[in-house]
Structure 1
């Protein structure tokens, strides 16, 4: 499989799961600014890929060493953005804005928060060094792709489909349902299981899934979500400022876990790659689980 075809497949899967296209098919046809071919000739033929949630120079050196020992890994796919994917991360935050508005947040309020988020995050990103992986990949001649929001879109729709009917009695039941997902249960065994912010015995009410859009939202958004009737959030991670704001807004939240949630989307991508004949080597942070050939959502 050509390197560019591996990348394009990930983008296509991300588009198919983009909530804008889920709501209005064909409304978004672009790429994602935090997904990129970091290194490697796009026409290079690839048979085996090392796939990780995170991978730095150390993982590239590991791949190089594995190849020296006969593993024959042809390329590396990283979920979290690096290179231009890192510096251009804010180009996908508009998906969050769309998600707020589909739940009823006033577009003008959503736009103000969105602009603030992008401005602040761009300042943070400009101080970062996202070039180390690209530099090492060139020296080691290892093709690298980063595939971020396309994967997060898959995670978003995965959870939306599970909780679309919302026939669960309590927030605790929502947490238990999430913990029954393979990747989450696997992470739980390492002590990285899902947890609840708020009242575990409350009814879930109106559930909003918040899994995509590049960065953590601004804490201001939670009071607006409460006003429009959101009762429970499902997210892969939130920082302390957001946890505080969620509590103050009297919203409940279930945090599914970062590595576990990312693994769900990556696994869907890996299943498709394997169906095209690629071999997958599961790397750092990936709880590998195959769903191909079944109708099970979990």
Structure 2
């Protein structure tokens, strides 16, 4: 199996036809039988993979080049999810403007060739698969919540805890804004769109009566959202990523690929 075929497995599982902006093959590889797979990859993991005689390294998060520089474009998926949930298109796209601009401006400070060039010098095949796996996880989480038909915020938490990744996590699913008895008849898993939607996207969902699930949130956005009326659940970054990663690993193993798990990936 080669790197392109591995990427194709992820795309097929996620229902995507093209490689998203935040995913990339940095160093092509052929005859891949053993991979080292981690949520985050650095030079040390490349060296470890070489010592463990792995044929390829797969990261979840973007590592450089176009996957980093074009990451901001994936934020459009937040607007797409909002529109599917009945939020007007103009309002949805307005809600993502600040986040997209902040991420785009940050590109000027990026050393975007750092790790890809190291992998190239080591002749170590390297790729990252981000949005396809997040989309798999978002879909599983949303279907799990929808099937539970939650009435209250606590019902959403209980539903998510039926997934093994959350049962094994060291972090807890937490209601960070609102109340466990709050209305959760309309709940959205705001995931699979690059990163969490921050203040603006959650605020828009609140305005339309949604209970929101983020996988993480920063302190500034949290403090601003506390002043708004709504319910926000944080499910945990690594556990939530694993919900989408594990089905992909299973598919690789079914193809005869040995997967060495590292850097946050749960067995």
- The residue aligned with 1:25 is none
- The residue aligned with 1:181 is 163
- TM-aligned CA deviation for residue 169 of structure 1: 4.5
Alignment of 1:241 with 2:220, yes or no, is yes
Query: 2:266, 2:80 → 1: CA distance?
Result: 30
Query: 1:203, 1:57 → 2: CA distance?
Result: 46
Indicate if the aligned counterparts of 1:90 and 1:118 stay in contact, CA closer than 8 A: yes
Alignment of 1:135 with 2:117, yes or no, is yes
Q: How does 1:205-284 map to 2 (within 5 A)?
A: 205-230=185-210, 232-284=211-263
- The residue aligned with 1:101 is 83
1:77 aligns with one of 58, 64, 78: 58
Indicate if the aligned counterparts of 1:40 and 1:141 stay in contact, CA closer than 8 A: no
SS of the residue 1:253 aligns to: strand
SS of the residue 2:233 aligns to: strand
SS of the residue 2:169 aligns to: helix
* Alignment RMSD: 1.8
1:18-62 Cα distance to aligned partner (Å, 9 max, x none):
6xxxxxxxxxx4320111101124xx1100111111111111122
- TM-aligned CA deviation for residue 119 of structure 1: 1.9
- The residue aligned with 1:47 is 33
Q: Which runs of 5+ in 2 are unaligned?
A: none
Query: 1:137, 1:256 → 2: CA distance?
Result: 33
- The residue aligned with 1:146 is 128
Indicate if the aligned counterparts of 2:95 and 2:204 stay in contact, CA closer than 8 A: no
Query: 2:33, 2:97 → 1: CA distance?
Result: 42
1:158-217 Cα distance to aligned partner (Å, 9 max, x none):
0111011443353223223323321112113xxx22111221232422101111111232
1:106-145 Cα distance to aligned partner (Å, 9 max, x none):
2222222333322221111321223222122112211111
- TM-aligned CA deviation for residue 91 of structure 1: 2.1
Indicate if the aligned counterparts of 2:21 and 2:73 stay in contact, CA closer than 8 A: yes
Query: 1:274, 1:210 → 2: CA distance?
Result: 29
Number of matched pairs: 265
Indicate if the aligned counterparts of 2:145 and 2:159 stay in contact, CA closer than 8 A: no
SS of the residue 1:219 aligns to: helix
- The residue aligned with 2:25 is 37
Query: 1:114, 1:170 → 2: CA distance?
Result: 27
Query: 1:36, 1:176 → 2: CA distance?
Result: 35
1:69-107 Cα distance to aligned partner (Å, 9 max, x none):
xxx311011000112211110121111011112223222
SS of the residue 1:37 aligns to: strand
Query: 1:39, 1:216 → 2: CA distance?
Result: 29
1:263-293 Cα distance to aligned partner (Å, 9 max, x none):
11111111111111111110111012xxxxx
Under a length normalisation based on structure 2, what TM-score does the superposition of the two structures give?
0.92
Indicate if the aligned counterparts of 2:198 and 2:217 stay in contact, CA closer than 8 A: no
